[in-house]
Structure 1
């Protein structure tokens, strides 16, 4: 199973909902319990976990999405994950928390960010990947534009959902549009 950990305030479900809508709408939901959901897509299992704190697990092949308002979360020294998705404003905070091992995907409106909002064509948002992302199992996402379905709220929510899509190498679900 490939884990996706949404780290931050439990009341903020915008990013987990956007990821479910973008990648797993209409896909096989195998389990849902509280703030955990397991989906099957293209022969792989994906676990979506929400937490207000980092647990002892090591997320070597997984992705940690840092929600807005997560600055009070304590990360262990040498936090290990396949990747971290973070708002551009929080990227320096993430590095100050200790040595982070895994690719950091910063999302924002700057050319310094890994992923940024590009345009909106006929009501359909488009985001631009400005630098390569190395996903699990050695997969590489090269710089590209990614059109997303309408209806996903903008800002960091939109960018974080797109970052998860690119990191995992999963195009938007056909049912997302």
Structure 2
């Protein structure tokens, strides 16, 4: 189980990194409804797999003092209420778009470690194009679906990384 710490009153409050990705992907997908251009496209299959492709705007800044370039996700959904919590948890970004990129980065980092990814799965990809100023990637996330009270459906991301 790839556990992470949720911030106090955090919007994406799952305690696994897979759960956070599941929550944040749904938040972005819901927030993008009605927008002319959607940055994240997700689908769910009958095999209980959430798949998605994304192309999200980014920024590059240069620090003259240190000579270091930094990339960040542009906050393109500014009206969506989102909180990383206070105090923050493992993922500390305060905008939904950067939080999404940080969750993906965390997963990509863990995927490359055999002890944390014993099945050698590559369920997330992420790259940054400096020319177009865009993050590009893909997510594949298995989940389970159960019946809740009063006919509700509960979907939960399946854990595939280990702490």
**Given the two structures, how large is their TM-score scaled by the length of structure 1?**
0.25
The structure having more radius of gyration, on CA atoms, is 2
- Bigger relative CO (Cα 8 Å, ≥ 6 apart): 2
**Given the two structures, how large is their TM-score scaled by the length of structure 2?**
0.27
